[in-house]
Amino acid sequence: MKLNLRAKAEPEVNMTSLIDVVLLLLIFFMVSTSFVKESQISITLPEADSKAVVDALPEQLEIMITAKGTYLINGRELVNNRPETIRNALQRMSTGDTSLPLTISADANSRHQHVVTAMDVAGRLGFTKISIATLNDTTDE
């Protein structure tokens, strides 16, 4: 039996449809992409100055009132309880600077009148940064 041999045909690859799909995708992405310019805020950030000298902590005045009613200003005991003595000692210790913070510490057993006297003298001198503290009794724990 005689078979007829045919010449094999070369397969043909058609690129037209592939190019069409790629171009359609390119057009789709170009149209759907939004070109929005984001708004920006210009901020000037502070910079640390390493050469700046740190000032010493501001002075602080402290009036301590003991249970017996004696006054101590910055740890120095006053000779008596009179308001004039307290006023003179505060003026001397503050050197006239009434912007210094002033803390009044009173013992839990001190009289309320002693605290009021210290506040009154400080207020008349012009001190505005006045803090009041009490000493805690730790024997109750």
Give the HSE-up count for residue 74: Cα atoms under 13 Å, Cβ half-sphere: 12
**Among the four given CATH numbers 3.90.1150.10, 3.30.420.270, 3.40.630.30, 3.30.460.10, the one describing domain 61-136:** 3.30.420.270
Of 51-60, 82-91, 100-109, the one with minimum mean pLDDT is 51-60
Note the pLDDT of residue 55.
52
How far is it, in rounded angstroms, from Cα 55 to Cα 31? 63
Distances (CA, A) of 90 to 14, 58, 62, 138: 103, 16, 9, 30
Residue listed under structure tokens 């200003």: 73
Of 32-36, 75-79, 102-106, the one with minimum mean pLDDT is 32-36
First to last CA, the chain: 121
pLDDT in tens, 89-112: 998 888 888 888 889 998 888 888
How far is it, in rounded angstroms, from Cα 89 to Cα 73? 7
Neighbour tally for 97: CB within 10 Å = 13
The residues spanned by each domain of the chain are 61-136
